[in-house]
Amino acid sequence: MARYLEIAAELRAAIISGEYPIGSVLPSEGDLVARYGVARGTVRQAVAQLEQDGVVATRQGARRVVLGSAPTQSFHEMQSFSMWAVSQGHVPSARVLKCEPGKATEQEAAMLRVPPGEPLVRLERVRLLDGRPTMVERTLYAGVVAELLLAMDLTSGSITEQLTAQGHVYAHAEHSIDAMAAGVLDAELLGVRRGNPLLRLRRLTTSPTGVPLEWSDDRYRQDAVTITVRNSMSVNTLMRLSPALA
Amino acid sequence: MARYLEIAAELRAAIISGEYPIGSVLPSEGDLVARYGVARGTVRQAVAQLEQDGVVATRQGARRVVLGSAPTQSFHEMQSFSMWAVSQGHVPSARVLKCEPGKATEQEAAMLRVPPGEPLVRLERVRLLDGRPTMVERTLYAGVVAELLLAMDLTSGSITEQLTAQGHVYAHAEHSIDAMAAGVLDAELLGVRRGNPLLRLRRLTTSPTGVPLEWSDDRYRQDAVTITVRNSMSVNTLMRLSPALA
DNA sequence: CAGTGGTCTAGACCACCTT
DNA sequence: AGGTGGTCTAGACCACTGA
């Protein structure tokens, strides 16, 4: 592991342990240089990590202030229902409604940002948390990922996990979040009344090189999840859009 | 402006202009060093900006790939309904339902992360977009910000803007997003039916030093907004929580 | 194997904050 | 005025990618 990541981890641990309580200040860069025996650049890389995660606040000329300990977030937990469920102490499962190869329609092609007619796989599942219907998932898989999918066990495990094991890495995702009313079909699948609120999360995921891998439309029962986002002046990935543009 | 920001801006402009189309590769760090006549560290600071915004993807050993042009996002647009509305070409306004000073109840203190009994201001407004009710906003303002608020014009402008003008800077925010059904009151205020879906966005905003400034509960008509979030393996501020923990 | 990005060093000057 | 973070330079070595 890189030295700056080790230092960042040590500082995180010190914050969690209470050595640097919320509201207190971190040692100066000079102090940390002396303590860890590294160059200033390395210390700055370490604290930049903490700043990016919203753990500390930085102002030129003043010591860094501790905002809170790092959230237990992870890109992969956000990406995968299974991993998230497990991390929350729940047992995830799935009921497959549809899994079929096909060719991209005009609309699907636009969402996946591929040419119309491209081969893809359409997957629809009801996702369960401890046996209770929680989310309806409609996913389109593109390219290589699509082919691998047809050989997988879709009811139990995490597709993401199986894809990662085979070297297909998800690197970027763009999520659109809104509220909607349950239609007849969704209501029945989730065991709620028609018209009840659902939280909809649509997502385009791409590889490290920007190649679209999947597009997903996930609809959660109103009481099933809350999404949280942190942003700050320096790190900001959050937008509010009019539906017309979304 | 710092040199690395100038370089980042130039690269952004070049991407938008089509000089570096989506999917193409950026010049190597060495090329950029030569072109701009700066040290490699400066070039790396510039491209790190682009990476953080999801504009380019980086892999060790390979040229950087262009993912897309920068979104027109801004921290302040996310923070302020007014600024966002204007940027979307709409006319924002507000109807003040309540604006009164008070002392923090047990529950309010916990949300704002201040001691119970702290002075605060409670503000409730219906926010309108081009005259149409769009969102119900319930905000608690703490400390210094609270005092300033009572002297402001609350119907027209942006509170955030007025506060910024007086040197009170919002620096960090944590948002919780979920779906809910409209109650009798919210339904009437927004002109929708009781039970209709609303998108709820709760937010704690703090100063650069981590001091809580405001807590807000915003409820949008189901068709009024979509929230979008970008995340990646390297930059991730997104979490999915069980409601019990939220 | 050459090119490229990832990490690290050592030192410099400046802008801003605190006292 | 002294301390602190922000920026920048110049050079080094390593790990990974791709032809």
Over residues A60-85, the pLDDT tens digits come to 898 998 887 755 455 667 778 887 88
**CA–CA dist A180, B17 (Å, integer):** 37
| Nearest chain B CA: its distance from A201 CA (Å) | 9
* Residue count (chain A): 246
Predicted confidence at residue A238, as pLDDT, reads 57
Q: Closest nucleotide to B2's CA, by C1' atom?
A: D7
Q: Is the pTM of this model over 0.95?
A: no
State the Rg of chain A over Cα.
22
Q: How many CA atoms lie within 13 A of B72 on its CB side?
A: 7
Average pLDDT of the residues in B170-189: 90
Residue pair B104/B114 in contact by the 8 Å Cβ criterion? yes
With a CB cutoff of 8 Å and minimum separation 6, the contacts of B1 are none
3-state secondary structure of B243: helix
**Torsion sign over Cα A118, A124, A129, A135:** positive
Which residues of chain B between 24 and 43 are close to nucleic strand D, CB under 7 A?
37-42
Residue pair B98/B113 in contact by the 8 Å Cβ criterion? no
Q: Tell me: pLDDT of B44 over 50.
A: yes
A130 touches chain B (CB under 8 A): no
**CA–CA dist B139, B202 (Å, integer):** 10
Predicted confidence at residue B156, as pLDDT, reads 65
> Residue A155: left if φ>0, alpha if ψ -120 to 50, beta else—which one?
alpha
Q: Tell me: pLDDT of A228 over 90.
A: no
**How would residue A233 be classed by pLDDT, with cut points 50, 70 and 90?**
low
Interchain proximity B241–A233, CB inside 8 Å: no
3-state secondary structure of B153: coil
Predicted confidence at residue B74, as pLDDT, reads 58
Predicted confidence at residue B161, as pLDDT, reads 75
> Residue B99: left if φ>0, alpha if ψ -120 to 50, beta else—which one?
beta
Q: Which of A66, A67, A73 sits opposite B239 (nearest CB)?
A: A73
Cβ-in-10-Å burial (0-12, 13-18, 19+) of A185 comes to: exposed
Q: Which of A54, A59, A228 sits opposite B241 (nearest CB)?
A: A228
Average pLDDT of the residues in A8-27: 90
Q: Tell me: pLDDT of A244 over 50.
A: no
Q: Closest nucleotide to A3's CA, by C1' atom?
A: C7
Average pLDDT of the residues in B139-162: 78
A66 touches chain B (CB under 8 A): yes
According to DSSP, residue B244 is labeled: G
B24 touches chain A (CB under 8 A): no
Predicted confidence at residue A71, as pLDDT, reads 55
Best CA proximity match to A69, nearest among A1, A8, A4, A27: A8
Tokens of B157: 């402008």
Helices (H), B18-116: 29-36, 40-52, 75-79, 81-87, 106-112
**How would residue B229 be classed by pLDDT, with cut points 50, 70 and 90?**
confident
Question: Could you tell me what percent of chain A has a pLDDT over 70?
Answer: 89
Query: Is the CB of residue A64 inside 7 Å of nucleic acid strand D?
Result: yes
**How would residue A237 be classed by pLDDT, with cut points 50, 70 and 90?**
low
Q: Tell me: pLDDT of A131 over 70.
A: yes
Q: Tell me: pLDDT of A154 over 90.
A: no
Predicted confidence at residue B216, as pLDDT, reads 93
Integer CA distances (angstroms), A175 to A79, A111, A159, B221, in order: 10, 12, 19, 19
The string over B152-187, giving b where at least 16 C-beta atoms fall within 10 Å of a residue's C-beta and e elsewhere, is eeeeeebbbebbeeeeeebbbbbbbbbbbbbeeebb
Interchain proximity A239–B229, CB inside 8 Å: yes
| Nearest chain B CA: its distance from A34 CA (Å) | 23
Predicted confidence at residue B107, as pLDDT, reads 83
Interchain proximity B176–A206, CB inside 8 Å: no
Q: Which residues of B touch A232 (CB under 8 A)?
A: 75, 171-173
Residue numbers of A between 203 and 242 with CB closer than 8 Å to B: 206, 208-210, 220, 222-233, 235-242
Integer CA distances (angstroms), A218 to A29, A225, B155, in order: 44, 12, 37
The string over A11-27, giving b where at least 16 C-beta atoms fall within 10 Å of a residue's C-beta and e elsewhere, is bbeebeeeebeeeeebb
Q: How many CA atoms lie within 13 A of A194 on its CB side?
A: 3
Q: How far is CA A193 from the centre of its chain?
A: 29
Question: Could you tell me what percent of chain B has a pLDDT over 70?
Answer: 89
Lowest mean pLDDT among A222-226, A234-238, B137-141, B195-199: A234-238
**How would residue A216 be classed by pLDDT, with cut points 50, 70 and 90?**
very high
Interchain proximity B226–A232, CB inside 8 Å: no
Lowest mean pLDDT among A56-60, A69-73, B13-17, B66-70: A69-73
Which of the listed ranges A54-58, A84-88, A226-230, B42-46 does the model predict with the highest average pLDDT? Answer: B42-46
Q: Which of A62, A227, A245 sits opposite B240 (nearest CB)?
A: A227
Query: Is the CB of residue A127 inside 7 Å of nucleic acid strand D?
Result: no
A187 touches chain B (CB under 8 A): no
CA angle A94, A95, A96 (to 5 degrees): 110
B104 compared with A182, residue with greater pLDDT? A182
Interchain proximity A239–B228, CB inside 8 Å: yes
